A and B are shown apart, each in its own frame.
Chain A
Amino acid sequence: MSAPINIGFVPLTDAAPLIIAHEMGFAREEGISLNLSRELNWSTVRDKLGFGILDGAHLLLPLALSLSLGVGPVFCEIDVAMIMNMNGNALVVNHQLANALRVAGCQIGDARSFATTMIKLTSNAPVRIAVPYMDSMHVTMLRHLILRLDKRPEDIFEFHVSSPSAIESLLRSGDVDAFMVGAPWGSKAVENDTGCWMLSSNSIWQGAPEKVLGLRRGWVRENEELGVRLTRAVYRGANWVANRSNASVASEILSRSEYLDMDASLIEYNLRGEVVVNSSGTTIFDPLAIQFDANRIGFPWHSSIGWVAEQNASSWKIDKSVARQLSTECCRTDLYRKALESIYGPVPSANAKLEGSLAELTPVSGSNNPILGPDAFFDGEIYDPA
């Protein structure tokens, strides 16, 4: 057994592949041991990576990129070994805003309807919306949603930052009007009746990568073989979590105090594809709301990661093409392929694809029958990375 690998995570349902890799023995099977470090704030994960205290982390994709590009307070090159999950973020608003949206004809759960109604309601001032970090898919997708409707995001949303575990209290105290947060923190606020569910992030982009397995490039350089084994362990953990018959066990493990430290039932909803939509506990089944199926979504595509880099280029004050090129260097498609080779996991032969072009599950060329999709954008946009 090698020396323990120090990996950070923030208490969220999508840390599951990592926690399960550790708890269910996938890591041990690879001859590696993990020292999982629970962090409440993304800034702390960032700093600990920057100072080499962590070797890797469960990481917001845009944060992995801003660290690598050195556009934030800390510069630390990160290799994206795999996508841990797709989507999983919920948009929750306070009761007053929910009523205003309903009166103005907003169709709940529909991204375009939500955005057009928000544009109407914010003609005087933007709404204050909390997000876990500025370099996040939350901000990336909300900005994109508004930009595609030819409006300026800053006229609609005033972003406030709060760690996921503290975000509900900000809505309760009236410091913000809305928040967007990863599971299960949105369901928790809805169940507590602190706010009303409006949207799941997959209604903006079904194929949105959310958290990644990010490894310090300096560490990978010296420990490539460990990096491959870790990727394989997390890949297997993710597939295990994606199997709904494991939902009870997985949610019990995640609910422990050293991990999410909360009621298992909310986590179990997430893992079963159920979205809590009101305080009386009504749920709707939406299997795309949060996706862990690594066979289908694990591959670190140049194109989807490049899309995220391009979207953030203006706030990072760098050129779009530079952002995309640097982001490509973060995508360790080689590491991922190596990790899956020995276990005959499905990998595509291409490194980039048209984003938003798949309406349903679609077989693509590659080894061991890779199947992708769906990955549609709310407005049918197709992003061509070429």
Chain B
Amino acid sequence: MSKPLHIVVIDPHKERAFLIVDGLREEWDYKVTVIGETSGLARKLGELQPDIILIDLENPSRDSFEQIVLALGASERPVAMFVDHSDQQMMRAAIDAGISAYVVDGLRKDRITPVLETAIARFHAFHRMKTELETTKAALAERKTIDRAKGVLMKARGMSEEDAYALLRKTAMDQGRKLSEVADGLVDAAGLLL
């Protein structure tokens, strides 16, 4: 039995980091460490001696980090970027998902592949969650403006809620615009007039 792989995940997004850690621990016996704060990274990595490092491609510190990893490799232990250049498909999938992996040289491919597969799946899952959240947020914000626009109409023209909504909808349809845009315009204009 070889000793468990030590995987370091560098990610300032707590939720995503946990998602990855859970995924990695679910099926395999890995030691996983999360680094959220990138200051003092050189020292931390030197102490942790990881076998595999995973970092988000969007992390603004990735370039700094890469210099540190390469420096560690030169002085202490060899580090190869990417698993194996023959495995183009897997690396492409990783980059598409927004993840990059740095792997200690000499690590066998069959030990790396499941780690990357899990990380890729979790990155995609996180992305879906984020999209959902943002869409919901936008929808809520839209609803808020529409509610305010209705309020303006009800107050200024003594309309019922139902009539105010119908008027907004009709205006939007007549002008070929989104309901939220018409509401936005009305709220803005009301702000100037009242």
Q: Which residues of A contact B (CB under 8 A)?
A: 39-44, 47-48, 51-53, 73-74, 132-134, 160-163, 165-166, 170, 173, 175
Query: Is B88 in contact with chain A by the CB < 8 A criterion?
Result: yes
Binds A, one of B56-64, B117-125, B142-150: B56-64
Query: Is B81 in contact with chain A by the CB < 8 A criterion?
Result: yes
Cα–Cα distance between A67 and B64 once the two chains are bound (Å): 19
Binds A, one of B14-22, B90-98, B181-189: B90-98
Q: Which residues of B contact A (CB under 8 A)?
A: 39, 57-64, 66-67, 81-82, 88, 91-92, 95-96, 100
**Contact: A48 with B62, CB < 8 Å?**
no
**Contact: B96 with A53, CB < 8 Å?**
yes
Given contact pairs A40-B58, A41-B57, A47 touches B63 in the complex (Cβ within 8 A): no
**Contact: B64 with A162, CB < 8 Å?**
yes
Per a CB cutoff under 8 Å, which of B60, B92, B100 touches A163? Answer: B60
**Contact: B100 with A44, CB < 8 Å?**
yes
Residues in B neighbouring A133, C-beta threshold 8 A: 63
CB distance from A4 to the nearest CB of B (A): 16
Given contact pairs A44-B57, A48-B95, A162 touches B63 in the complex (Cβ within 8 A): yes
Residues in B neighbouring A44, C-beta threshold 8 A: 57-58, 62, 100
Per a CB cutoff under 8 Å, which of B63, B81, B88 touches A132? Answer: B63
Residues in A neighbouring B63, C-beta threshold 8 A: 41-43, 132-133, 161-163
CB distance from A370 to the nearest CB of B (A): 37
**Contact: B62 with A41, CB < 8 Å?**
yes
**Contact: B60 with A40, CB < 8 Å?**
yes
CB distance from B34 to the nearest CB of A (A): 20
Given contact pairs A40-B58, A51-B88, A173-B39, A160 touches B64 in the complex (Cβ within 8 A): yes
**Contact: B66 with A43, CB < 8 Å?**
yes
Cα–Cα distance between A43 and B82 once the two chains are bound (Å): 13
Chain A residue at minimum C-beta to C-beta distance from B62: A41
CB distance from B131 to the nearest CB of A (A): 16
**Contact: B95 with A51, CB < 8 Å?**
yes
Chain A residue at minimum C-beta to C-beta distance from B96: A53
Cα–Cα distance between A39 and B88 once the two chains are bound (Å): 21
Residues in A neighbouring B39, C-beta threshold 8 A: 173, 175
**Contact: A134 with B57, CB < 8 Å?**
no
Cα–Cα distance between A48 and B82 once the two chains are bound (Å): 13
Chain B residue at minimum C-beta to C-beta distance from A161: B67
* Sample of 8 more A-B contacts, CB < 8 Å, known A41-B63, A162-B63: A40-B58, A41-B62, A42-B63, A43-B66, A51-B91, A161-B64, A161-B67, A166-B60
Given contact pairs A53-B96, A73-B81, A161 touches B66 in the complex (Cβ within 8 A): yes
Given contact pairs A51-B95, A52-B92, A163 touches B67 in the complex (Cβ within 8 A): no
CB distance from A367 to the nearest CB of B (A): 41
Cα–Cα distance between A43 and B88 once the two chains are bound (Å): 17
Cα–Cα distance between A53 and B39 once the two chains are bound (Å): 30
Residues in B neighbouring A43, C-beta threshold 8 A: 62-63, 66, 100
Cα–Cα distance between A356 and B57 once the two chains are bound (Å): 39
Residues in A neighbouring B91, C-beta threshold 8 A: 51
**Contact: B62 with A51, CB < 8 Å?**
no
Cα–Cα distance between A39 and B100 once the two chains are bound (Å): 13
Cα–Cα distance between A41 and B60 once the two chains are bound (Å): 6
Cα–Cα distance between A42 and B60 once the two chains are bound (Å): 10
Chain B residue at minimum C-beta to C-beta distance from A72: B81
Cα–Cα distance between A175 and B63 once the two chains are bound (Å): 15
CB distance from A137 to the nearest CB of B (A): 16
CB distance from A42 to the nearest CB of B (A): 6
CB distance from B43 to the nearest CB of A (A): 12
Residues in B neighbouring A48, C-beta threshold 8 A: 95
Given contact pairs A73-B81, A134-B67, A173-B39, A53 touches B61 in the complex (Cβ within 8 A): no
Residues in B neighbouring A166, C-beta threshold 8 A: 60-61, 64
Instruction: List 22 contacting pairs A-B, 8 Å CB cutoff, sorted by A.
Output: A40-B59, A40-B62, A41-B57, A41-B60, A44-B58, A44-B62, A47-B57, A47-B100, A51-B91, A52-B92, A53-B92, A53-B95, A73-B81, A132-B63, A134-B67, A162-B61, A163-B62, A165-B60, A166-B60, A166-B61, A170-B64, A173-B39
